[in-house]
Amino acid sequence: MSVKNCFAAVRILTFAFFILSFSSVNAVSGTAIYAKKPVFPGARGKKIIKGIPYICQQGRLDCGYVSCAMLIGRFNKQLDTLFYPKLVYESTGGYGFVYSPGFLNFPFTGWLDETFHWLSSLYGLSFERVNGTGIAGEKRTWHEYINRIWDYLQKDTPVQVFRSWSTREIDGRMYTPEGLRPFWWESVLKSHRPDKHALVIVGLDWSRGIIYINDPGCGWFGKGEYEEMSLIRFKELTKALPPEVKYSTRVFSYNDLPIVDEGRKSAMIEERIIDKIKGNPLVYDDGSGTFLYGLKGIAAMKKDLNENKFSEILEYRLRKEGMMPVEVIRYLILGFYQYVYITGVTAGYLEAAGDVKEYEEISKLHILYEKLYILSNRLLNIFRTNNDFNKAVRISRPILKEMRDSLGRLELFFQDYLDKQLVNKT
């Protein structure tokens, strides 16, 4: 069974000018200067990359993981139904823990570059992210961006980009152009949401003013594969993005290095899991420096869930960021949710692959995250139904203790995992 079968569950304004052929962009690994072909009035041309696998996202926050899988699938000729779950396992995201002390906040792992770099090393690929710099104004930046995408497509390279949701909301429900979706950000103001969604561009038709996309989120509507979107609409959705992903592209390309064989890959994954648990920043996206990783992150979160500290954080974020307690807690819920999802997918892959020992381990981890996810939802319900902040904090006391106890069990799990690996090596 193919990945496609498994996961199936206008026109542009004529350019009135042309842009010069040089523009600068900032890449993750440094600054690169791209020589761009000018787009002349009445530009023509069409390029569609055939055979890019389509995968529908199964969770709320996995559009980044799914897009990554579709990009790598371009280079993999032997796709099967376990391809995406296997990539989630190989990412080792289920064994990581990232926390921002003093904020009750997690980053969302599926949108981070480090995972893309890691997976590229396993599959003999190179990874490149390029960010638009916004030089010479919005108009030229847009032209540089769309020409960059066109250049990649000319090389048969699908491109991961981001779009804004730009949705309508009615009675707490989110409506996209494709249809109704559950509103993941219930209780969170628009100004406090990460309004971004990852997708893959697989084609562009200049004469019709159309891009062709594999959108992970649209498979729920029976769409998503090689779906058409007008360049005008895509431009609107791009302009609405937050700066960190606006005009950015992520691609894989062939490298001279061979694909890592399964035996060597297992050893590399094991070492990476150990580094994740120990909190080595090199196996995480070490960006702002405000996060703690692995066991250190868990310990920091336990401290923040003491009643007084918890209350201080909620008051601080309301005062400094204008975020209501229910919004902060909603992010906490989504943070735990991502670990529930990743560990669940990983467990499913390990079970199917017959790795009973590792399946049992990740299943224990999955259950621990499920407990934390449920407790954080109870916490939200208290603050949603009590207008008196101090009263809500008092009522939350037993739940906060349960959460600290659960994090303590999470610490013990990770420490036990490290001890077992040490015994196996000796």
Encoding tokens for residue 283?
Answer: 């196996």
Has residue 18 got a pLDDT over 70? no
CA dihedral of 307, 313, 319, 322, whole degrees rounded to 10? -110
Under the banding of pLDDT at 50, 70 and 90, the label for residue 423 is confident
160-194 pLDDT, tens per residue?
999 987 666 666 566 666 565 555 666 776 676 77
Q: What is the pLDDT of residue 86?
A: 95
Helices (H) and strands (E) in the chain, counts: 12, 14
Question: 348 and 387 share a domain?
Answer: yes
CA angle 187, 188, 193 (to 5 degrees): 155
Decide which of 254, 280, 296 is a domain's last residue. Answer: 254
Average pLDDT over residues 346-360: 95
Asked if residue 101 belongs to a domain, the reply is no
Strands 98-99 and 292-293, by their bridges, are antiparallel
Bridge partners, residue 132, by sequence:
25
Q: How far does CA 233 lie from the centroid of its chain?
A: 23
Q: 404: which 2 tokens?
A: 């600290």
239 and 232 Cβ atoms separated by less than 8 Å: no
Quick one: pLDDT band at residue 137, thresholds 50, 70, 90? confident
Mean pLDDT of 401-411: 98
Q: Kindly calculate the radius of gyration of the chain based on its CA atoms and give it in whole angstroms.
A: 22
Check whether residue 334 and residue 386 sit in a common domain: yes
- Examine the pLDDT at 15 and tell me if it is beyond 50: no
Percent of the chain with pLDDT over 90: 62
For 44-53, the pLDDT digits (tens) are: 699 999 999 9
Helix, strand, coil share (%) of the chain residues, nearest 5: 50, 15, 35
% of the chain residues with pLDDT over 70: 80
pLDDT at site 4: 38
Beta strands in 49-196 (DSSP E): 98-99, 125-132, 159-163, 168-170, 173-176, 179-181
- Under a CB-based contact definition with an 8 Å cutoff, are residues 106 and 331 in contact? yes
What's the whole-number average pLDDT of the chain? 84
pLDDT in the model for residue 34: 37
**7/297: higher pLDDT:** 297
In the predicted model, is pLDDT for residue 35 greater than 70? Answer: no
Residues 234 and 306 in one domain: no
Q: What is the pLDDT at residue 23?
A: 33
Strands 30-35 and 179-181: unpaired
Do 238 and 374 lie in one domain? The reply is no
Same domain, yes or no, for 172 and 212?
Answer: yes
* The pair of three-digit structure tokens given for residue 2, joined into one six-digit string: 């193919």
Which sign, positive or negative, has the C-alpha torsion 185, 71, 215, 2? negative
Pick the range with the lowest mean pLDDT from 145-159, 164-178, 276-290. 164-178
Residue 379 domain flag: yes
Question: CA-CA-CA-CA torsion for 112, 118, 124, 127, nearest 10 degrees?
Answer: 30
Find the domain containing 323 and state its range. 262-425
pLDDT in tens, 50-95: 999 999 888 777 888 999 999 999 988 777 888 999 999 999 999 9
What is residue 243's predicted lDDT score, i.e. its pLDDT? 84
User: What is the rounded CA–CA span in Å between residue 13 and residue 208?
Assistant: 10
pLDDT of residue 289: 64
CB-CB neighbours of 106 under 10 Å: 21
Question: What 3-state class would DSSP assign to 269?
Answer: helix
Question: Does 414 have pLDDT greater than 90?
Answer: yes
pLDDT in tens, 23-34: 333 333 333 333
Domain membership flag for residue 99:
no
Q: Are residues 348 and 379 in the same domain?
A: yes
CATH number at residue 179: 3.90.70
Asked whether residue 311 is domain-assigned, the answer is yes
pLDDT, tens digit, for every residue of 363-390? Answer: 999 999 999 999 999 999 999 999 999 9
**Looking at the structure, do residues 171 and 313 belong to the same domain, yes or no?**
no
Q: Tell whether the model's pLDDT for residue 36 goes beyond 80.
A: no
The domain boundary residue, chosen from 221, 254, 287: 254
Cβ–Cβ contacts within 10 Å for residue 256, how many?
Answer: 6
Whether 22 has a pLDDT exceeding 50, the answer reads no
- State mean pLDDT over 246-260: 91
217 SS3 class: helix
- Whether 247 and 393 map to the same domain: the answer is no
Both 299 and 267 in one domain: the answer is yes
Amino acid making up residue 387? N
pLDDT band at 122 (very low <50, low <70, confident <90, very high): very high
Cα separation, 271 vs 254, in Å, equals 25
**227 & 314 share domain:** no
CA dihedral 271, 103, 411, 390 (to 10 degrees): -170
| Stretch 241-248: mean pLDDT | 88
The token pair at 227 is 């779906």
Q: Is 245 left (phi over 0), alpha (psi -120 to 50) or beta?
A: alpha
Task: Specify the pTM.
Answer: 0.84
User: What is the total count of domains within the chain?
Assistant: 2
